[in-house]
Amino acid sequence: MASSLAIFGVVMALGMLSYGAEARAFFVFGDSLVDTGNNNYLATSARADSPPYGIDYPTRRPTGRFSNGLSIPDYISQKLGAEPTLPYLSPLLTGQKLLVGANFASAGIGILNDTGVQFANIIRMPAQLLNFQQYRRRLSAQIGPQRTKQLVNQALVLLTVGGNDFVNNYYLVPFSARSRQFALPDYVRYLISELRKILLKMYDLGARRVLVTGTGPLGCAPAELAMRSRNGECAAELQRAAALYNPQLIQMLRSVNSQLGSDVFVAANVQETRNDFIKNPQAFGFTTSKIACCGQGPYNGLGLCTRASNLCPNRDLYAFWDAFHPSEKGNRLIVENIMTGDEKYMYPMNLSTILALDSRN
């Protein structure tokens, strides 16, 4: 009996090693657009762990995703032919699951550490990177340092951060500390310079293929329409912020790639994708891109999405699920552009090109 158990253990270990060699790991960093449940384990108000969140998820239960169903990382995992990455804080992230990768994102965070202070206990970017280092140590204990380095170098990484630095910092309240410190163009330059430091730290930790998303059209979210719009027009100041930030992000990524001598960082211009929804929602099968499916008040844009909120019967008809986040269908369309979009959406290449190039190496 003991010998058969020993053989079974060897077979399992070999299976885990072969799986790690064949599958491409996927790591996710950022905010609520990509958090798949880390904040469930934290004492914070920035959580999506109660209904009707998850109403269209396969289990029909809330998972911590700020969506009615699947999120952007889920759809990217599908494109990689992999199972979804687990939240880093999940107790299920052990053994073979570590080889799939991990999601380190935390709702409410930004590029800056003072973004999202109202949410108290959230995992800001320095802590996300510390968790990534801890993940590497855990994986190294399982498969060895050389295999761990190889897995991380060959992994795909997604970073979605920046929107909260505007909506939950600079524009959170009139005369915010950051708006008194910086004029908007100077603030954008400061954000870009701080993000550059984060990217170079990720590179130092082994990341070699990183998708970096820009902000969406910040002024067009139902929350901003409810607070700042008179006739359904997008909030001009937030739109100006996005228009300043996204081109400078692409310029900075180009500069970093030049410095590194490789296209490590790839810009995903989700502002353009979501602009398409907003300008012509019917072309994508949406009836509205202004009203959230779940919420209350004008445009269903005030407060949180809860059991007491208005809830649309068909989520696929809404570009926005709640006051800030795309619906599951919106997330799927964003990932389709990440996969196959031209340089308007993806710079310097889309994810399909990345996967084809990397498969030859």
Catalytic residue status for 90:
no
Distance (Å) of CA 316 to CA 119, 186, 321, 327: 30, 39, 9, 7
Contacts for 53-57 with beta carbons within 8 Å, 24 or more apart? 53/305, 55/311, 55/315, 56/315, 56/328
**Is 204 one of the annotated active-site residues of the chain?**
no
- CA gap 281, 275 in Å, rounded: 9
**Is 325 among the residues known to form the active site?**
yes
Position 310, amino acid: N
Q: Which of 165, 316, 322, 327 is catalytic?
A: 322
b/e 315-348 (16+ beta carbons within 10 angstroms → b): bbbbbbbbbbbbbbbbbbbbbebbbebeeebbbe
What is the rounded CA–CA span in Å between residue 180 and residue 201?
29
Asked if residue 277 lies in contact with residue 289, where contact means CB atoms within 8 angstroms, the answer is yes
| Pairing between β-strand 265-268 and β-strand 346-347 as defined by DSSP bridges | antiparallel
Annotated active-site residue in 90, 276, 316, 325: 325
Q: Which of 31, 32, 90, 276 is catalytic?
A: 32
Alpha helices in the chain (DSSP H): 2-22, 72-80, 125-143, 145-154, 164-165, 177-181, 184-204, 222-228, 236-260, 270-279, 328-340, 351-360
Question: Among all residues, which ones are annotated catalytic?
Answer: 32, 322, 325
